[in-house]
Structure 1
Amino acid sequence: MSEDGGLFLLLLGPTGGAGLYWLLYRYYRNTDKSHAFEHETDVVAQPVTGADQDRKIREIKGTRATSISGNNVRAYRARVQQMQGDS
């Protein structure tokens, strides 16, 4: 094999890797085909308003409980009910 052939094979690896990277980047990004959301979409902001039903009912600080009261984690049969079907 001549030295020119060896040099060609040596350069084929990095060149092929760079080409594959560029093709995958263009395929997944396709920036030339996607629309510009920020420029083409009009978003109108309105002031935040609260309803009369939104009121604070209690505040819990420094909770030391390791579980939630009334949990049914260990009561599998109480949590899962068999579906009644027309079989």
Structure 2
Amino acid sequence: MSDDGGLGLLLLGPAGAAGLYWMLYRYYRNTDKSHAFERETTVDAKPVTGDHDDHKVDEVKGTRETRIRGDNVSEYRKRVQRIGGDTS
């Protein structure tokens, strides 16, 4: 009879772990509560129209240039600004 109790106790560990895993998965995934953009959202497409003031500025063909002219990758303080006015 003591073998049945020991076996139940041994099975309780993996069953509890599987239950905890499933509970945490459902809690953090929220798959039943998430927004299904493709099904629940309608997008009204309109014809593409160009502005008559548009004019071509420059043309880069291929991948000759490894960087974009005027990029601000190394100027962190210019790219990221604090919200709230304090700039120090």
Give the TM-score taking structure 1 as reference length. 0.51
Alpha-carbon offset, residue 32 of structure 1: 3.3
CA–CA distance in 2 between the matches of 1:65 and 1:43? 36
| Structure 1 segments of 4+ aligned residues over 3 angstroms from their partners | 31-40, 60-69
RMSD, aligned CA: 3.5
Map of 2:51 onto structure 1: 51
Identity of aligned residues (%): 63
Distance 1:13 1:63, change over 3 A: same
The 5 A counterparts of 1:12-23 are 12-23=12-23
- The residue type paired with residue 51 of structure 1 is D
Q: Which has more radius of gyration?
A: 1
What TM-score, normalized to structure 2?
0.50
For structure 2, the 5+ residue unaligned runs are 79-88
Q: Which residue in the other structure is 1:32 paired with?
A: 32
Report the secondary structure of 1:56's partner residue: coil
State the number of aligned residues: 71
CA distance in 2 between counterparts of 1:31 and 1:64 reads 44
